[in-house]
Amino acid sequence: MSSSYDPVMLSRILTSLTLAFHIIYATIGVGVPLMIALAEWIGIKRGDPHYLLLARRWARGFVITVAVGVVTGTAIGLQLSLLWPSFMRVAGQSIALPLFMETFAFFFEAIFLGIYLYTWDRFKSRTAHFWLLIPVVIGSSASAFFITIVNAFMNYPVGFNYVDGKITDVNPLAAMLSPAMPTKVAHVLSSAYLTCALVLAAIAAWSLLKGRDHVYYKKALKLTMISALVFLFSTAIIGDLSGKYLAKYQPEKLAAMEWHYETTTNAPLVLGGVLDENNEVKYGLHIPNALSILAHGYPSAEVIGLNDIPADEHPPLYIHYLFDIKMGYVAYMTFVVLLFAVFMKLRRTNPYAKWLLRLIIASAPVAMLTIEHGWIFSEVGRQPWILRGLMRTSEGATTSDHVDTMLVVFSILYLVLGVTSVRVLTRMFRTNRAEDELIARGIDGGEGGVKG
């Protein structure tokens, strides 16, 4: 058993496991406050109690996901030092500032979320309560912003000199402004908003599909799907810019992702396909010039190929599949969101048709899978580096025993947390349906105070 003990590999697995689990809750944590704010704002502006209840019910479920997000976030924060001590020693020198700022954003969010949740009926003015949510929205997005800056630094470290394994002349602000930062941060935020809009849309679609055709659910679906449309466009534009970033600063990732070997102009984009033992692409669909356009914006642009990069610095080639799968998901989401928008606009079609509702429900897990795939693609794509060009992943890991035991312990923990949180959430909304609450609160039917 001890002969197969490999702390580097085990540390990588444990870190990916923690992140993969955390990202689900973290994404919800970033996007849902914005959606709650949107609903509450519309509710106040239009004097429509349906939207206010929507915000209230979303907020109630949000607390459960925040709890899991907070504890797994604490886990990843500590695990960074426990599993990657040598890396954190370097990162502590160079990138402590955004890490530190992230905790402030988190602090800010935590304080106002507590206040927001317990003051629904405490202020005379509805807007006063609404304003309490703004720090939550800012705090949650800002913590995603700062933590993504740390990740951008790992993809493209700047702002210091690195001599013989030692960091000197650190410029903390410059380290935050890595070339990878703008596209990464924007993509993370925009895709989190998109995912949350679709997750909340799926909940509304689910109720409608069950034949509960209260106007409350239709309003919820409309609001979330229109938001999804907006975020879909912004995410797509930023995604395109991310490709251009890669071509300029991390060509090895782009080349591995597209199985692009020879440095050429008019480079084609490969969709699908498999790679044989001679590194020949088989069965792939080649779109002429598309890679050059993706990378530089014009068809005759030169794209660097893998052959110009030392073999021991090649990222794993399977990231091509990850990228293709991800783009497949994106195509699906685009299709569903556009379809709903068109059906809404055309008066003769029914946007609440059962088959369309089913497609919308499916788009929520698809959106979450896209987030996971995107992250795995991005993280695996910078292997073998933990700090690109500076420190290999193997040099950053712990040498400690017991990583294998911890892997088992944390796997069980995430399984238990995942299952319980889903059970608590479903029970929460099944025992207290929106229709019942509308009546109980005297919004519909005017029977105030009657509990359903």
Partner 1 sequence: MSYEVLGITVLWLFLFGYLIVASIDFGAGFFSYYSSVTGTRHLIQNVIERYLSPVWEVTNVFLVFFFVGFVGFFPDTAYYYGTALLVPGSIAIVLLAIRGSYYAFNTYGSRTSKMYMLLYGASGLLIPAALSTVLTISEGGYIEVSGSREVRFLFWNLVKSSYSWSVVLLAIVSVLYISAMFLSYYAHKAGDRPAFEIVRKYALAWSLPTIMCSLLVFFSIRGHNPVHFDKMLDLTGMFVLSFLSFLVAVYFVWTRKQLGWAFVFVMLQFGFAFFGYGAGHLPYILYPYLTIHDNFTSEAMAVALVIVFVLGLLLLIPSLYLLMRLFLFDAKYVKGNFDKH
**Closer residue to partner 1, CB minimum distance, 22 or 320:** 22
According to CB under 8 A, which one of 13, 111, 177, 369 is a site residue for partner 1?
111
Nearest-approach distance from CB 21 to partner 1, in angstroms? 10
* Cβ-based nearer residue to partner 1, 147 or 359: 147
CA 192 to chain centre: 5
Q: Are strands 274-275 and 285-287 parallel, antiparallel or unpaired?
A: unpaired
Q: Closer to partner 1 by CB, 57 or 260: give it.
A: 57
In 187-275, the DSSP E strands lie at 264-265, 269-271, 274-275
Asked if 311 touches partner 1 (CB under 8 A), the answer is: no
Which one among 84, 145, 216, 377 touches partner 1, defined by CB under 8 A?
Answer: 84
Q: Segment contacting partner 1 (CB under 8 A): 63-71, 222-230, 240-248, 363-371? A: 63-71
SS3 275: strand
**Alpha-carbon dihedral angle through residues 358, 363, 368, 371, given to the nearest 10 degrees:** 170
Biggest CA pair distance of the chain:
75
Closer Cβ to partner 1, 78 or 285, answer by number: 78
Please say which residue, 33 or 305, places its beta carbon nearer to partner 1. Answer: 33
Cβ at position 137, least distance to partner 1 in Å: 15
The footprint of partner 1 on this chain (CB under 8 A) covers a number of residues equal to 79
Name the β-bridge partners of 92.
Answer: none
Q: With contacts defined by CB under 8 A, name the span among 114-122, 191-199, 226-234, 301-309 that binds partner 1.
A: 114-122
DSSP state of 300: T
Distance CA(55)–CA(342), nearest Å, equals 26
Q: Which of residues 391-420 bind partner 1 (CB under 8 A)?
A: 398-400, 402-403, 405-406, 409-410, 413, 417, 420
Shortest distance (Å) from residue 64 CB to partner 1: 6
Between 108 and 249, CB nearer to partner 1: 108
CB of 293 to partner 1, least distance (A): 40
Q: What is the 3-state secondary structure (H, E, C) of 111-124?
A: HHHHHHHCCCCCCC
Judged by CB under 8 A, does residue 71 bind partner 1? yes
Residue 295 and residue 234 in contact, taking contact as beta carbons nearer than 8 Å: no
Q: Measured from the CB of residue 15, what is the shortest distance to partner 1 in angstroms?
A: 13
Task: Note whether 444 binds partner 1 by CB under 8 A.
Answer: no
With contacts defined by CB under 8 A, name the span among 97-105, 195-203, 241-249, 298-306 that binds partner 1.
97-105
Question: At 92, phi and psi to the nearest 5?
Answer: -60, -35
Angle between helices 354-380 and 319-345 in degrees, nearest 10: 150
Q: Which of 67, 158, 341, 440 binds partner 1 (CB under 8 A)?
A: 67
How many angstroms separate the CA atoms of 115 and 371, rounded? 30
Name which of residues 141 to 170 contact partner 1 (CB under 8 A): 167-170
- All residues at 6 or more sequence positions from 382 whose CB lies less than 8 Å from its CB, including other chains: 154, 155, 250, 253, 315, 388
Exposure string for 356-368, b = 16+ CB within 10 A, e = fewer? bbebbbbbbebbb
Mapping DSSP to helix (H, G, I), strand (E, B) and coil, where does residue 284 land?
coil
355 sits near partner 1 (criterion: CB under 8 A): no
Q: Which is nearer to partner 1, 90 or 208 (CB)?
A: 90
Strands 161-163 and 281-282: unpaired
For every residue of 24-93, DSSP letters joined together read HHHHHHHHHHHHHHHHHHHHHHHT-HHHHHHHHHHHHHHHHHHHHHHHHHHHHHHHHHHH-HHHHHHHHH
Decide if residue 75 touches partner 1 (CB under 8 A): yes
Which of 421, 433, 435, 440: binder of partner 1 (CB under 8 A)? 421
Of the listed pieces 52-60, 240-248, 347-355, 370-378, which binds partner 1 according to CB under 8 A?
A: 52-60
CA 376/CA 379 separation, integer angstroms: 5
Interface positions, 196-235, toward partner 1 (CB under 8 A): none
Q: Looking at 32, 39, 53, 66, which residue binds partner 1 (CB under 8 A)?
A: 66
Instruction: State which of residues 9, 16, 44, 108 lies at the interface with partner 1 (CB under 8 A).
Output: 108
79 binds partner 1 (CB under 8 A): yes
Binding status of residue 424 toward partner 1 by CB under 8 A: yes
Q: Residue 228: enclosing H or E segment and its boundaries?
A: helix 215-249
Binding mask 172-201 for partner 1 (x = CB under 8 A): xx----------------------------
As measured in angstroms, the least distance from the Cβ of 383 to partner 1 is 22
